[in-house]
Amino acid sequence: MTEGTPDDLVTVASTATPFEAHTLAAVLQDAGVEAVVMGTTPWAGVPLDASSRVAVQVRRELAERARLVLEANVSDSIDIDWDEIDVGQREDTLPLSPVGRMPVPARIALVVATILVAIILIGFVTMLLQDILGS
């Protein structure tokens, strides 16, 4: 069996979720290694098969470099001591949670939506009763 060409795709990581796979692909791409995520649907980012793993693939010629980048990323992320990280002070004076009432346009939209749902439900119940009673 042949080794393949340098442009063939090889799997350098296999994850349980598309989120993990895309995160690893982003780490590789930030390091200049072009990576693709295989095994998810393009429109939803979910695995094609619930029991399958999601693969991160690179060109064969970049596989060793990709593995080193991923190992360095794991090493760097383990060494973070979040107690030593200074995130600074807030620069704004806004409250952390919104205070006050719902804005007028949102209240109007809520009332309109409630009326439409009520009309649809009344129509549905009327049709159902007509079918049951045979009118």
- pLDDT above 50 (res 37): yes
In a domain, 93, yes or no: no
DSSP string, 89-101: -------SS--SP
Q: Which of 3, 24, 111, 16 is nearest to 66 (CA)?
A: 24
**102: its two tokens:** 């719902």
The length of the chain, given as a count of residues: 135
**7: its two tokens:** 């442009």
In a domain, 85, yes or no: no
In a domain, 48, yes or no: yes
Select from 33, 63, 78 the last residue of a domain: 78
pLDDT per position as a tens digit, 68-107: 999 988 877 766 676 777 878 888 887 777 667 788 899 9
What's the CATH code of the domain at 25?
3.30.70
Residues 68 and 13 in one domain: yes
Q: Give the range of the structural domain holding residue 17, as residue numbers without chain letter.
A: 9-78
Please state the domain count of the chain: 2
Q: Which of 22, 17, 18 is nearest to 35 (CA)?
A: 22
Residues 32-55, mean pLDDT to the nearest whole number: 74
**15 strand-pairing partners:** 54
Residues 72 and 114 in one domain: no
